[in-house]
Structure 1
């Protein structure tokens, strides 16, 4: 049943303890309301164009076409999906490049004090690397958003050669999320009738071989039980993967994807929805299905508090949060970047810094990207 203009938080089962004490269970059927979030209203934009809540500060860590810190690496065009990885006392932020032919991934290493230690390339020569996902074994899955695009498993430290993973399917890949409980990987597809997939390796966690499945459900289904069925030809040799299985459920422009505590959240930009797949019970529900304040839903990540942070591709260029108790509110707005999109939100391992990019910056061109860091009193 379609439920337009209806907004709710829906997370199922005994998962609340995994969210740092935040009780998603209490919000299971609550109607979420646009309101000031837990950090209060946004303040006027700072010198970098970032409108943030009180006590939060932002900085630019990289600009397309410019050297990053004192490193030799020139920051790539169109920065997109990203993730953070612990690196001793510091951490690494990886970022895709969503341009054709050269694509790839860049990385920035930070010291314990947040200073930039180095920056470098970890993948190159691929095509339109949009989003992806981090693995618990400390690799970054970088996805090509082109017809018959592939997934590349990369090393955030840049020491190991990237490995292409064709068994994960050839389609217009967007994002990945690893479910360690069921030893599978969920994936979104960015086309108007895209599938929602899962890949189960033959020998966990080796992604070199395994079974690719697509979700089965009614086209207009927004809640209830779903099933899975194997895709016969992941290589899409003669037919696109999304058309190979009768009854596969279409999703309108799959975007970001994030897994935690038996739930995989994913976004569909075509209908501006945030979905929740309850992996323990194999059912779906809507977490967000509104037009305000969150418009153009895209990449998604989660804070230690259980707050979901959803980036906008469009709207007024914000990252909005959805709290466990059903509040939807802007967290940051990027002013003066009207022809851009917000990409790559990811928290540092200690949860104290949020990284993200404005893909096309103030120029509206892939050569004008900005990558930011926001620091402040994030909820634990």
Structure 2
């Protein structure tokens, strides 16, 4: 099963049940993805926000680190990172992590049905270097600490319930999470040069208070079959989780993670790869590798966060590179979708679509200043493919 084997109707976010889109299965085609003409056309000149976009798309700034969000009294956090959107009545909420240590945490911005900012608030505090994470099918945000023996925290994007630490999900250098409502598990990436890919099997679906942490076991090749093995001591002490199971497959700097109908995609920054797990067949392969690009330079480098759209397109953000968000289509074509100019000392984080799929949110973690206090969170609106 290859790249186009994922279901083209993949929903926005990390859960295939997130917003209830209709799904359909594509046919197999060649992998990994290669450069080509993207579905949205060439990038235009930089707009007033310094963002190059295809025709028909516009950008706006939603929040800046250290400044009040819109007309609210809430000050946006430093170093905005991983994010996700949640439906909220006729509007929606965008959640964003803060990758600083100490204090970290996560904040939320609330929008009404027209996209107007109506509120902003804190949903997680007093944690460490919250990098990426993922949403759950029961509408909570999993915020992951990217530190040695870090935790996953489950936070309420609506700001009603207090965040809860989830130690059963393992203590390691967490990066991203993606929920699989079919197998009732959560996949977890590890940001280590010799890291692993994990899945957490809750004792009861809908609760992350108890369960079993497992690690992917496979050969050293870039494709093949895999199995899962239990991690004996998820607390990572005295032996770190990645060294507890013989045959655990190593990945060079696990980053973003996205699930859509029997497929998991996750990125590794150390080798600029996008990996694909075909869960129905228990096989894995490369969906993209910049070193395997033929006929020209690689359009996507510094691979980081990844999300998906209702059309089945994947959107991969760059940490460095040319500060692009690139699109990878079901036809295995990779092309720039947008480019942030004048911010070479930053990285793009937290891409996530609004529930209706018409708006894409993301952040430049260090903005034009190159400092964590210079973060900028954006929204792009336009004719995204349905």
TM-score range normalised by the length of the shorter chain: over 0.9
Q: Secondary structure at the match of 1:367?
A: helix
Once residues 31 and 209 of structure 1 are traced to their aligned partners in structure 2, the CA distance between those partners, rounded to angstroms, is: 37
What does residue 98 of structure 2 align with? 97
Gap change, CA 1:9 and 1:334, over 3 Å in 2:
farther
Gap change, CA 1:226 and 1:262, over 3 Å in 2:
same
Once residues 31 and 132 of structure 1 are traced to their aligned partners in structure 2, the CA distance between those partners, rounded to angstroms, is: 25
- Kept in 1: contact 2:10–2:309 (CA 8 A): no
Gap change, CA 1:27 and 1:50, over 3 Å in 2:
farther
- Backbone CA RMSD of aligned residues: 1.6
1:164-217, CA deviations, whole angstroms, 9 ceiling, x for partnerless residues? 000000000000000000000000000000010000001112100000000011
Once residues 236 and 9 of structure 2 are traced to their aligned partners in structure 1, the CA distance between those partners, rounded to angstroms, is: 41
Once residues 247 and 32 of structure 1 are traced to their aligned partners in structure 2, the CA distance between those partners, rounded to angstroms, is: 28
- Kept in 1: contact 2:9–2:311 (CA 8 A): no
The total of aligned residue pairs comes to 371
- Kept in 1: contact 2:83–2:351 (CA 8 A): yes
What does residue 259 of structure 1 align with? 259
What does residue 179 of structure 1 align with? 180
Structure 2: 5+ residue runs without aligned partners?
12-20, 292-297
Deviation at 1:324, TM superposition (A): 0.5
Deviation at 1:237, TM superposition (A): 1.6
What does residue 17 of structure 2 align with? none
- Kept in 2: contact 1:9–1:288 (CA 8 A): no
Q: After the TM superposition, which of the residue ranges 30-39 and 368-377 deviates more from structure 2?
A: 30-39
Deviation at 1:281, TM superposition (A): 1.5
Once residues 360 and 44 of structure 2 are traced to their aligned partners in structure 1, the CA distance between those partners, rounded to angstroms, is: 17
Once residues 32 and 192 of structure 2 are traced to their aligned partners in structure 1, the CA distance between those partners, rounded to angstroms, is: 29
Runs of 4+ aligned structure 1 residues displaced above 6 Å come to: 19-24
Deviation at 1:32, TM superposition (A): 3.4
What does residue 345 of structure 1 align with? 351
Gap change, CA 1:191 and 1:360, over 3 Å in 2:
same
Once residues 95 and 343 of structure 1 are traced to their aligned partners in structure 2, the CA distance between those partners, rounded to angstroms, is: 9
Once residues 185 and 205 of structure 1 are traced to their aligned partners in structure 2, the CA distance between those partners, rounded to angstroms, is: 11
What does residue 278 of structure 1 align with? 278
- Aligned with residue 358 of structure 1, among 340, 351, 364: 364
What does residue 269 of structure 1 align with? 269
Once residues 346 and 315 of structure 2 are traced to their aligned partners in structure 1, the CA distance between those partners, rounded to angstroms, is: 18
Deviation at 1:30, TM superposition (A): 5.1
Deviation at 1:327, TM superposition (A): 1.2
What does residue 40 of structure 2 align with? 39
Once residues 45 and 26 of structure 2 are traced to their aligned partners in structure 1, the CA distance between those partners, rounded to angstroms, is: 35
Gap change, CA 1:21 and 1:290, over 3 Å in 2:
farther
Deviation at 1:16, TM superposition (A): 4.7
Structure 1: 5+ residue runs without aligned partners?
1-7
What does residue 294 of structure 2 align with? none
- Aligned with residue 307 of structure 1, among 313, 336, 346: 313
Once residues 32 and 202 of structure 1 are traced to their aligned partners in structure 2, the CA distance between those partners, rounded to angstroms, is: 37
